[in-house]
A and B are shown apart, each in its own frame.
Chain A
Amino acid sequence: MRENNYTLEMKNIHKSFGGIHALIDVSLELRHGEILGLVGDNAAGKSTLMKILTGAYQANRGRIFFEGREVHITNPRVSRQVGIEMVYQDFELCPNLNVPANLFLGREITGNFFKALKNRQMENKAVEILGRLKIDIKNSKIKANRLSGGQQQALAIGKAVSFNPKVVIMDEPTASLAVMEIEKVIDLILRFKEQGISIILVTHRLDDIFKVSDRIFVLKHGRRVDVKETSQTNKDEIIKLMF
């Protein structure tokens, strides 16, 4: 294992769909416990880059290192095992499942008895997690489709961070929320940083980025344009880089 400062490194990533080059030689480094804002125009390749991290896509070329070790993320399960979680713009909850079932989806707690689900234990843990994250959901027995937008986003974030990930990717976490709810989500993000989680924040809302991020990574037409320390740049400069 080689020593370095990065939790995650993506090196020389290429990805094309048919004849279209979505990503060209993109390298990205994520430091321990930092919040990296990822910005770019609509077709800049942000979500493609993130989907390669979560295993939804595979890169045509390039390597990924996690805590200095090379990893091959072939599907979402591997990504989760490595310690990468993603919070999706449209929350990606199962509307028909209740809060604990959503929180534990894909990693349910099972007992020794024929690996039966331990629903009671998952309910208790869910209450605990919600409490710890100060997520305001009174009755966790209710189904996700009966939660408010903010509650759903909080739950989606809770789902991502409650299993001690090293890296959390957030794709437009505030895009569909009301102002009040945005503040809460931003608080949540800052709290994760305190816990030592590295976060990639993908968003159009530069205000939010400047509020929480340590560095800003700019993509344009599938290429890495620049990375700036947030404290040493301003909105105008970033916008210029983006377009």
Chain B
Amino acid sequence: MHVKKHNRQLTLSERREDFVKVGFLKSLLVHPEAGITIAVVILLIVFSVASPSFLTAYNIFNVARNVASYAFIAIAQALVIVGGGMNLSVGAIGGLAVVTTGYFIDVQGFSPAIAVIIALLVGLAAGAFNGVIITKIGINSFVATLATLFVFTGIVYGITKGYPYINIPKSFTIIGRKGIWGLPYLFWLMVVALGFIFYLFNFRRFGRWLLATGGSKEATRVSGVNVDRIILLSHVLSGLFAAIAGVLWVSRMGSAQPATGQDWLIISFAIAIIGGTALSGGSISALGLLMGSVIIVLIRNGLILLGVNIYFEQTYLGLIILLAVTVDRIRAFYYQRAGI
């Protein structure tokens, strides 16, 4: 839309209309997740046509569950990236939660519900530990969470000596392995989590202030917001989501593997960034996180379904991610040109 020339003073309702009325195509341009969504739709079509196995119930269930597993990890990372930081210890906190769950169920004989609560508390505490180091001691989040990555991983090995906890009751695997309405419980849990993220950043002061902190720490501080508290809380939430991801992995695996979480770091960044969480902070999108998870899972799934040469798999993965990001650059270009 071209900027209209107004010769007379506009009425209030006209002015309101002016910025509420943004056309569909234009809203596609405005939203950074639009590019990635388009890429996902393209991939869905390509894989559906190219492989008869793609739309089988087994595969849909499988893909949906992997998407959910990634989304939780990505949320844990995005929550701190949005405030201008990062959390290198997401996987380590996840591993800590896995081991805590396994230890209290297998060794201490607690009921799974209580073990899960303890594990989530451990996640909260680990996140709070990160947050306190960053805000009170004033160490930047990269260094602080790099250090705690080692601390937490060390604790995991110290407790387990590398052994998994295997006496996890069958009932505990229901969440990780079963589903309803054709999709896994994990997927529905992810929908709830993403809904929470959407609500947090659109309708809560905390979310607004965290976004503001990522945009300009100084401006937020002079606006009377206790920025340190916001950053601390974002790390607590990050720890909680990493722990949720860990607990859900225990439920999926039916055992508590101490190495869980060791490869989460890169994936957590990749999904968050692909999904429109700017690395410099200040933006987050629930839909983007979903689409980021979907695209990574789809690519891996599709490549195997299509029988791509395993030795070149990573190359294809990289190329398709580049493609998705390019689609977004094109969107951003037209967005700039449109001048809305």
Contact = CB atoms under 8 A, between A and B. Distances in A.
Most buried by B among A75, A88, A117: A117
Nearest to B9: A131
B32 to A, nearest CB: 11
A175 B279 CA distance: 31
Interface residues of B, number: 34
B314 to A, nearest CB: 33
A139 B18 contact: yes
Contacts of A159: 223
Interface stretch (B34-42, B181-189, B200-208): B200-208
B202 A94 contact: no
A131 B223 contact: no
Contacts of B19: 123, 127, 138-142
Contacts of A123: 16, 19-20
Interface string A17-57: 00000000000000000000000000000000000001010
Contacts of B278: 96
A95 interface: yes
A174 B209 CA distance: 28
Contacts of A88: 222
A110 B18 CA distance: 24
Contacts of B203: 116-117, 119
A124 interface: yes
B16 A77 contact: no
B239 interface: no
A106 B224 contact: yes
A50 to B, nearest CB: 11
Given A94-B216, A115-B205, A80 B224 contact: yes
Interface in B278-298: 278, 282-283
Contact of B219 (A56, A93, A116, A142): A93
Given A97-B212, A105-B212, A142-B340, A119 B219 contact: no
A21 B283 CA distance: 41
Contact of B222 (A86, A96, A138, A140): A86
B208 A93 contact: no
Interface string B214-237: 111011111111100000000000
A138 B3 contact: yes
B75 interface: no
A193 B209 CA distance: 31
A75 B221 CA distance: 9
Nearest to A117: B203
A136 B216 CA distance: 24
Given A127-B16, A138-B3, A140-B19, A97 B211 contact: yes
A106 B225 contact: yes
Contacts of A141: 19-20, 22
A116 B218 CA distance: 25
Given A97-B212, A105-B212, A110-B205, A124 B219 contact: no
Given A116-B203, A117-B203, A131-B12, A96 B220 contact: no
A167 to B, nearest CB: 15
Interface string B1-44: 00110100000100110111010000000000000000000000
B16 A105 contact: no
Given A117-B203, A123-B16, A95 B224 contact: no
B15 A131 contact: yes
A96 B18 contact: no
A165 interface: no
A99 B22 CA distance: 16
Nearest to B205: A108
A88 B221 CA distance: 12
B219 A92 contact: yes
B205 A92 contact: no
B82 to A, nearest CB: 9
Nearest to A56: B222
A97 B275 CA distance: 18
Contacts of B214: 96
Contacts of A95: 215-216, 282
A83 to B, nearest CB: 13
A54 B212 CA distance: 19
Interface string A136-151: 0011111000000000
A92 B218 contact: yes
A101 interface: yes
A96 B15 contact: no
Contacts of B222: 54, 56, 76, 86, 88, 92
A145 to B, nearest CB: 9
A211 interface: no
Given A96-B215, A141-B20, A105 B202 contact: no
Interface of A: 54, 56, 75-77, 79-80, 86, 88, 91-97, 101, 105-108, 110, 115-117, 119, 123-124, 127-128, 131, 138-142, 159
Interface of B: 3-4, 6, 12, 15-16, 18-20, 22, 202-205, 208-209, 211-212, 214-216, 218-226, 278, 282-283, 340
The 5 closest A-B pairs by CB, nearest first: A106-B223, A94-B215, A96-B282, A96-B215, A77-B224
Given A96-B214, A96-B283, A127-B19, 14 more contacts: A79-B224, A91-B219, A94-B215, A94-B282, A95-B216, A96-B212, A105-B208, A105-B223, A106-B223, A117-B202, A117-B205, A123-B19, A141-B19, A141-B20
